[in-house]
């Protein structure tokens, strides 16, 4: 499995890397982004290596044959559930399905929202009208409830398929990104560089892919993260409601079995608290990342410690939200 051949060809094939000029200065990312990325990376690693790290398999049961969940001990770090499964292992194993489906949903939704948003924003006219109406309808429909009705009668094979579930979840979450992307595409469409590309006679597809899309990247990234958070919420909720097959063993399923077995009434915190906290932590990590991206897109909302607390009296300069190009022009006029 760990053949050295690919690594050798890779190091041999890229002599440019060591020869490349040293980067001038390391970019300083806001602390929020660093913490957020750290948390997210940590859980992604758990999702990848969780099954290897888990001390016991999903089928393993402690040989004690009683039906009461055991509190945490040296052998079972997070205790056991009522069927004596090791909950620490279950937590590690559940990370994979939870995160996988969230990210699959995020990826599908992002592709959909870019396709819908950018097309409707750039093409305009009747296409735009129709696409906007479709987007707005998807925004207004309670997606989670529709998912519950659709997923419940699916055959168990499909209920276990991450791609199917991810795609279905994505169907209910692409509309937010599409709306934001459409709005941004509308403002980009009339920028000078896009107009000049059009005048030169570039094809529409080329303009969209090479001129417009790169400038939408921060918004695409933000909406990707948003849909991952949303997708995780939806998937965990579906598991918690028992709509998705419990075979996935995701964190939502853990919560569902805990709730169904009355763990909350019996105060068996080691059963329901760890999965709930893990879900919360992943959400917070991703939200921190998104917060950082927001501040990169719009530096004015950064909470600087500038002690500024009133209307700023500054003659001659009235900053308004305007694309970077026109700000430069204003600066020259000064």
Partner 1 sequence: MPLLIRRIGFYLIAAYAAITLDFFIPRMLPGNALSAILTQMRGVVTPAQLASMAAEYGADDKQSLLSQYFTYVGHTLSGNFGLSLSHQETPVSTVLGGDLPWTIGLIGSATVVAFLLGTLIGIMAGWRRGGLLDAIVPVSTFFQAIPYFVLGLLLLIIFGSDLAWFPIGGGYDTTNRYVTYVQGWNWPYMSSVLQHLVLPGTTVVLASIAGWIVGMRNMMITTMDEDYVLVAAAKGLSRFRVIGIAARNAILPTISNFTLSISLVVTGAVLVEVVFDYPGIGNEMFNAITAADYPLLQGILLVVTFAVLIANFLADLAYVVLDPRSRREA
**Footprint of partner 1 on this chain (CB under 8 A)?**
32, 133, 136-137, 139-146, 148-150, 152-155, 158, 176, 179, 229, 232-233, 236-237, 240-243, 255, 259, 264-265, 267, 269, 272-273, 276, 279-280, 283-284, 286-288, 291, 298, 300-301, 303-313, 318-321
Q: Give min distance, CB of 291 to partner 1, in A.
A: 6
Helix, strand and coil content of the chain, in percent to the nearest 5, comes to 70, 0, 30
Give dist(CA 134, CA 140) in Å, integer.
10
Q: How far is the CB of 273 from partner 1 (least distance, A)?
A: 7
Torsions phi, psi for 134 (to 5 deg): -60, -45
Say what the alpha-carbon torsion angle 221, 225, 231, 234 is, to the nearest 10 degrees.
-140
The residue (of 85 and 179) whose beta carbon lies closer to partner 1 is: 179
Task: List the one residue out of 39, 30, 35, 104 whose CA is nearest residue 281.
Answer: 39
Number of alpha carbons in the 13 Å side-chain half-sphere of residue 276 = 11
- Nearest approach in angstroms of CB 323 to partner 1 is 15
Q: Which is nearer to partner 1, 197 or 287 (CB)?
A: 287
Identify which of 264, 258, 132 has the alpha carbon closest to the alpha carbon of residue 186.
132
CA-based nearest residue to 291, from 106, 35, 42, 38: 35
Q: How far is the CB of 233 from partner 1 (least distance, A)?
A: 4
Least separation in angstroms between CB 171 and partner 1: 12
State which residue, 221 or 287, has the beta carbon closest to partner 1: 287
If the CB atoms of residues 202 and 330 are measured against partner 1, the closer one turns out to be 330
Residue 3 vs 306, nearer CB to partner 1: 306
Give the H or E element holding residue 330. Answer: helix 324-333
Nearer to partner 1, 144 or 186 (CB): 144
Closest by CA position to 302, among listed 288, 312, 292, 313: 292
In the complex with partner 1, which residue's Cβ is closer, 194 or 286? 286
- Tokens found for residue 268: 């068996």
* CB 32 within 8 Å of CB 292: yes
Least separation in angstroms between residue 118's CB and partner 1 is 19
Instruction: Give me 40's structure tokens.
Output: 């997210």
Instruction: Please report how close the Cβ of residue 289 comes to partner 1 at its closest, in angstroms.
Output: 10
Looking at the Cβ atoms of 77 and 291, the one nearer to partner 1 is 291
The nearer residue to partner 1, 134 or 197, going by C-beta atoms, is 134
CB of 188 to partner 1, least distance (A): 20
Residues 6+ apart with CB under 8 A from 36: 284, 285, 286, 287, 288, 289, 290, 291, 292
- Minimum CB distance to partner 1, residue 189 (Å): 21
CB crowding 105-143: b at 16 or more within 10 Å, else e: bbbbbbebbbebbbbbbbeeeeebeebbeebeebeeeeb
């Amino acid at each position: 499995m760990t053949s050295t051949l690919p690594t050798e060809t890779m190091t041999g094939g890229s002599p440019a890397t060591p020869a490349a000029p040293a980067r001038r200065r390391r970019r300083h990312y806001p602390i929020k982004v660093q913490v957020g990325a750290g948390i997210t990376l940590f859980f992604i690693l758990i999702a990848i290596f969780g099954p290897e790290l888990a001390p016991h398999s999903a089928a393993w049961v402690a040989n004690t044959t009683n039906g009461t969940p055991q509190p945490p001990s040296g052998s079972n770090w997070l205790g056991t559930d009522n069927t004596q499964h090791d909950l620490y292992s279950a937590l590690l194993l559940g990370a994979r399905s939870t995160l996988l489906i969230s990210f699959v949903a995020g990826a599908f939704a992002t592709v959909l929202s870019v396709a819908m948003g950018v097309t409707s924003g750039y093409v305009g006219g009747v296409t735009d009208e129709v696409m906007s109406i479709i987007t707005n309808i998807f925004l207004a429909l309670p997606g989670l409830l529709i998912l519950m009705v659709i997923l419940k009668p699916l055959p168990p094979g499909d209920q276990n398929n991450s791609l199917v579930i991810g795609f279905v979840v994505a169907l209910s979450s692409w509309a937010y990104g599409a709306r934001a992307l459409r709005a941004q595409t509308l403002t980009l469409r009339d920028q000078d560089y896009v107009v000049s590309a059009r005048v030169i006679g570039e094809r529409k597809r080329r303009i969209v892919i090479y001129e417009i899309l790169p400038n939408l990247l921060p918004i695409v990234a933000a909406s990707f993260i948003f849909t991952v958070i949303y997708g995780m919420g939806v998937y965990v909720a579906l598991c918690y409601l028992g709509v998705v097959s419990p075979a996935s063993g995701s964190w939502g399923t853990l919560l569902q079995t805990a709730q169904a077995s009355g763990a909350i009434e019996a105060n068996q915190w080691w059963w329901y608290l760890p999965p709930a906290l893990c879900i919360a932590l992943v959400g917070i990590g991703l939200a921190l990342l998104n917060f950082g991206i927001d501040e990169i897109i719009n530096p004015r909302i950064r909470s600087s410690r500038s002690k500024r607390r009133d209307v700023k009296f500054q003659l001659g300069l009235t900053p308004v939200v305007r694309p970077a190009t026109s700000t430069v022009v204003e600066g020259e006029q000064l």
